[in-house]
């Protein structure tokens, strides 16, 4: 990875990094905050939502004061490949560029480059461990917002040995049952509903719970709550499977980064407790 910019922040360093990605077939950008000290440090991966780049969380969430205090590296990757040139890639805000949905696409032409599942779970952690003072594969946590909350829940549940803890803010909890998921899964994965289930947190948690309690914050004034997010479906599946879940419905909060900034400290402390 190449560092394109570094800024001092709360005694640590915030890096903007780029690299060529085999999984995504081209250049990818991410940010990584490294706290003060010599390390090694545990890592929290933050997956952003629809339309976001690697910089939305970095500039708006207000996460780094607490990350510096807790001794956490915080990594924020991009949400999709960029500039693949596929027909329709830039037509809609909820599909294509900025909307990779953290799946490995199987439908052409998307399958050649839209492989965000492999990127987030395999390629990126290996690069981060090689470049930064991390504690390695046994000291990783995953969290995200909206589409990224979907990604965090899915990959945390799919690989519980790889992620010590999971949390989400306003996640898409049951994508197989909502319009955003229908559009993304149909476009990237085709009509095979079994393939959809492999990227649906509500389906996955029924099969096997994660050993750690999952933390979810959801605003009651979120305009996407009823149609797109559906946390009640995930909560019901958790109850059926015995998954420990703390679902906090936050009165009056919406889907914005004001909401994220309000509760980001709680999420980082949640992960620090599991990461030691």
The predicted pLDDT at position 50 comes to 98
Is 255 a catalytic site residue?
Answer: yes
Region 151-179: mean pLDDT is 98
The full set of domain ranges for the chain reads: 2-275
The predicted pLDDT at position 245 comes to 98
Is 241 a catalytic site residue?
Answer: no
The predicted pLDDT at position 249 comes to 98
Region 25-40: mean pLDDT is 97
For 144-164, write each residue's pLDDT tens digit.
999 999 999 999 999 999 999
Query: Which tokens hold the place of 89?
Result: 């890639």
DSSP secondary structure of 174-186: -GGGSHHHHHHHH
Per the DSSP assignment, residues forming a β-bridge with 126 are none
For 78-109, write each residue's pLDDT tens digit.
999 999 999 999 999 999 999 999 999 999 99
Dihedral sign from CA coordinates of 77, 53, 5, 104? positive
- Report the share of the chain in percent with pLDDT over 90: 100
Region 60-88: mean pLDDT is 97
| CA 265/CA 63 separation, integer angstroms | 7
Helix (H, G, I), strand (E, B) or coil at 203: helix
Region 258-262: mean pLDDT is 98
CB atoms closer than 10 angstroms to residue 110: 24
For 207-257, write each residue's pLDDT tens digit.
999 999 999 999 999 999 999 999 999 999 999 999 999 999 999 999 999
Kindly report the CATH class assigned to 2-275: alpha beta
**Which one of 255, 267, 270, 271 is the catalytic residue?**
255
The predicted pLDDT at position 273 comes to 98
DSSP strand pairing (214-219 vs 166-169): parallel
| CA 191/CA 107 separation, integer angstroms | 10
pTM as predicted: 0.97
Is 200 a catalytic site residue?
Answer: no
DSSP secondary structure of 126-173: HHHHHHS-B--TTSEEEEEETHHHHHHHHHHHH-TTT-S-EEEES---
**Which one of 15, 170, 222, 267 is the catalytic residue?**
222
| CA 181/CA 160 separation, integer angstroms | 23
Contact 44, 74 (CB under 8 A): yes
**Which one of 80, 146, 165, 167 is the catalytic residue?**
146
- Report the share of the chain in percent with pLDDT over 70: 100
What is the average pLDDT value for the chain, to the nearest integer?
97
Query: Which tokens hold the place of 47?
Result: 């997956």
Region 115-137: mean pLDDT is 98
């Amino acid at each position: 990875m190449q560092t394109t910019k570094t800024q001092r922040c709360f005694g640590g360093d915030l890096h903007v990094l780029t690299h060529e990605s085999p999984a995504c077939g081209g250049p990818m950008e991410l940010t990584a905050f490294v706290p003060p000290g010599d390390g090694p440090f545990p890592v929290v991966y933050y997956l952003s939502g629809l339309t976001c780049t690697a910089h939305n969380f970095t500039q708006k969430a207000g996460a780094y004061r607490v990350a510096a205090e807790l001794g956490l590296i915080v990594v924020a990757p991009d949400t999709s490949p960029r500039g693949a040139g596929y027909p329709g890639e830039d037509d809609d805000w909820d599909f294509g560029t900025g909307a990779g949905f953290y799946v490995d696409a199987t439908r052409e032409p998307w399958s050649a480059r839209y492989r965000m599942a492999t990127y987030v779970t395999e390629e990126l952690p290996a690069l981060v461990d090689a470049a930064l003072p991390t504690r390695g594969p046994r000291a990783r946590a995953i969290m995200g917002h909206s589409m990224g909350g979907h990604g965090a829940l899915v990959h945390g549940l799919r690989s519980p040995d790889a992620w010590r803890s999971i949390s989400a803010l306003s996640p898409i909890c049951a994508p197989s049952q909502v319009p955003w998921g229908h559009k993304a899964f149909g476009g990237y994965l085709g009509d095979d509903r079994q393939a959809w289930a492999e990227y649906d947190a509500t389906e996955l948690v029924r099969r096997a719970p994660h050993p750690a309690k999952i933390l979810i914050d959801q605003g009651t004034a979120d305009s996407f709550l009823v149609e797109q997010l559906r946390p009640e479906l995930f909560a019901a599946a958790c109850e059926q499977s015995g998954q420990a879940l703390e679902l906090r419905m936050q009165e009056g909060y919406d889907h914005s980064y004001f909401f994220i900034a309000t509760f980001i400290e709680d999420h980082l402390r949640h992960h620090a407790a599991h990461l030691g």
